[in-house]
Amino acid sequence: MWVVATAGHVDHGKSTLVRALTGMVPDRWAEERRRGMTIDLGFAWTTLPSGGTLAFVDVPGHERFVPNMLAGIGPVPAALIVVAADEGWMPQSAEHLAALHALGVSYGLLAVTRADLADPGPAAARARTEIAATSLGEVEAVPVSGVTGAGLPELRAALDRLGARLPDPARDAPVRLWVDRAFTVRGSGTVVTGTLGGGRLRVGDELELAATGEAVRVRGLHSLGTARTEVEAVARVAVNLRGLSRDRVGRGDALLTPGRFGRTDLLDVRLSGDPAADLPATLTLHVGSAAVPAQVRPLGPDTVRLRLARPLPLLIGDRALLRDPGRHHVAGGVTVLDVDPPPLRRRGAAAARTAVLAGLDGRPDLAGELRRRRLVRAGDLTRMGVPPTATPVAGQWLADPEHWRDLGRRLTEEVARYAAEHPLAAGVPVDVLRHRLDLPERALVTALLRPPLRLRDGLVTAAPQGTLPDPVARAVDRVRAEYGDRPFQAPEAHHLADLGLGPREIGAAVRAGALLKLAENVVLLPGAPDDAVRVLAGLPQPFTLSAARQALGTTRRVAVPLLELLDRRGATRRLPDDAREVVRPPG
């Protein structure tokens, strides 16, 4: 299926032409038929000579209904521009063309209607000149009369040629169906319609409602009046939603593939049209079927920041337009450059941001996004419209390679700095490093660790440890001097305190290998275990705790944890009767 929107001045015969081509009346409201003027969007379809199906979105031409017109052309890839031969180029012809140009529509066809009332040549020449200066470029022109039928076969053939030129849709893309109508069908519930520009819909699919993020399920699908189990882009589609009341959805909302779109009310864009400095403070942003007031902050000659009145599901590269409704003026088209821009709080931030935006073109760029954001979740990139093809550094986190290397260097420096600031600490708590490096998650700290850094019990240390602070080193020397000739005697707690060895100092000495901690307040010199095995190997095997204590010349306070340490090391083995034997002599 191909989908084409009409465009053109009021009363130039758009709806008449659609009716002549399709045999269907696109005007849906009694008021439209009474006044003979399209007010809202109309829909009709026909089969072309090639056998292809063409669906029309018929838009109103009156200046008062431009927002309705923009809701119709927003999601549509091509336009049928209608100009009357007897009136020629008119104000709404120009505004509709400006809107198509702003949205970047590049496929179109010119129909010169009422060719039975006037020579179509002058109107066609003027219209083609106007159109050629826009994104549509050179277009084919077909004179036609919706009343007499003259030129209709030629127009059908031209529409066939237009359809054949349209690019293939991205059928595997995520769904973003902009809602242009919402209504209730008795017995079925809420139904929304829109132009499916990409992806596919199936009965039973779960989608997200853009306005609220709530999950909705597809109960049924219709396309061109026929029930379907699946609809592929491009297509006009009606979606019956299960369990959603009519007052929860309306024009300007969207149905989304879950997890593939973010919602943003702040975005940076490039403007094609009026100079950024000349824009009023408030304009209306038209994108898809949505029309949302936007506060405008110029940044550069052609870049602005927009603050939207409500969030929209936008991606990098999206096309939209800014319109001044008070002046009935299209200020220009915009290309979305960033849907998650940084705040501009510091002096000079706006100028720096302008320089960054100057290098962006609206095309998704993974390397550039990583360079600018440094660290970003893969899911966040997906919801910006940037495929996250890089390998995560931790969990879902992606990192700019240069920034990641710099973080590794800074981590080593911070560990050394913390050790100097806290010489008796067992290591740096992970959360301290996370804050010092300004990282969003603890997992990123652990992912940065490389030898000689290591993580133990939530602390990051450098192995081997550095030298002891002088006061601790002197206290250890005093222990060595007092107990060097009686290695199995452990100083009492009060004596350790007198020596200047409190719990933190003992911990530092143990980590440095200068002391051996057997139990709370039980410390020996580090060579004591090997010396003990030599002594115990000289006893008749097996031996008891009492025999070991006497041979070592120590107390039960020391002998029990010392023997348990030797058991763990495999130097001794405990037997069922609580006796022990030496299994592996030292050396």
Give this prediction's pTM.
Answer: 0.79
DSSP track, 492-511: -HHHHHHHT--HHHHHHHHH
User: For the residues 500-526, what does the mean pLDDT come to?
Assistant: 87
Residue 39: per-residue pLDDT: 36
CA distances to 62, 85, 88, 263 from 122, in Å: 23, 8, 8, 47
pLDDT digits (tens, 9 = 90+) for 371-405: 999 999 999 999 999 999 999 999 999 999 999 99
Phi and psi based region of residue 453 (left: phi greater than 0; alpha: psi -120 to 50; beta: remaining) = beta
Which residues are CB-contacts of 59 (< 8 A; sequence separation ≥ 6)?
A: 5, 6, 7, 14, 38, 41, 42, 68, 69, 72, 73, 96
Instruction: Find out whether 215 and 206 touch, Cβ atoms under 8 Å.
Output: yes
pLDDT given for residue 461 in this prediction: 85
CA 466, CA 458: separation in Å to the nearest integer? 20
Place 38 in a pLDDT band, splitting at 50, 70 and 90. Answer: very low
User: Model confidence over 307-346: pLDDT tens digits?
Assistant: 999 999 999 999 999 999 888 888 999 999 999 999 999 9
Q: Write out 200-236 in H/E/C secondary structure.
A: EEECCCEEEECCCCCEEEEEEEEECCEEECEEECCEE
pLDDT in the model for residue 67: 66
Q: Which structure tokens are listed for 32?
A: 């439209």
pLDDT band of residue 286 (cuts 50, 70, 90) is very high
Indicate the pLDDT class of residue 25, thresholds 50, 70 and 90.
low
Q: What percent of the chain has pLDDT over 90?
A: 64
Residue 432 CA, chain-centre distance (Å), reads 28
Q: In this structure, which amino acid lies at residue 464?
A: P
pLDDT at 29: 38
Taking a C-beta distance cutoff of 8 angstroms, is the pair 53, 2 a contact? yes
Distance CA 62, CA 410 (A): 63
pLDDT in tens, 392-438: 999 999 999 999 999 999 999 999 898 878 777 778 999 999 999 99
Distance CA 456, CA 427 (A): 9
CA distances (Å), origin 247, targets 182, 184, 187, 524: 9, 10, 17, 78
Which range has the worst mean pLDDT, 56-70, 197-211, 325-339, 374-388? 56-70
Compute the average pLDDT of residues 499-507: 86
Q: Are 562 and 532 in contact (CB under 8 A)?
A: yes
Report which of residues 151 and 57 the model is more confident about.
151
Instruction: Flag whether pLDDT at 224 surpasses 70.
Output: yes
At residue 31, does pLDDT exceed 90?
A: no
Question: How many percent of the chain have pLDDT more than 70?
Answer: 94
- Kindly report the backbone phi and psi dihedral angles of residue 557, in degrees, each rounded to the nearest multiple of 5, phi listed first: -55, -35
pLDDT at 28: 44
Examine the pLDDT at 246 and tell me if it is beyond 70: yes
The tokens 């829109």 sit on which residue? 194
Task: Give the pLDDT of residue 368.
Answer: 95
CA geometry: angle at 382 spanning 379 and 384, to 5°? Answer: 115
Task: Report the pLDDT value the prediction gives residue 60, as an integer from 0 to 100.
Answer: 62
Q: Which of 273, 361, 260 is nearest to 313 (CA)?
A: 260
Is pLDDT larger for residue 587 or for residue 296?
296
User: From CA 269, how far away is CA 90, in angstroms rounded?
Assistant: 30
Return the higher-pLDDT residue of 245 and 559.
559
466-493 pLDDT per residue, tens: 567 778 888 888 999 889 889 999 999 8
What pLDDT is attached to residue 37?
36
Could you tell me which residue, 27 or 555, shows the higher pLDDT? Answer: 555
What is the structure's pLDDT at 33?
40
State the average pLDDT for the chain: 89
CB 72 within 8 A of CB 180: yes
The DSSP annotation for 503-570 comes to: HHHHHHHHHTTSSEEEETTEEE-TTHHHHHHHHHHTSPSSB-HHHHHHHHT--HHHHHHHHHHHHHHT
* pLDDT given at position 36: 41
Res. 61: pLDDT tops 80? no
C-alpha torsion 49→54→60→61, nearest 10 = -50
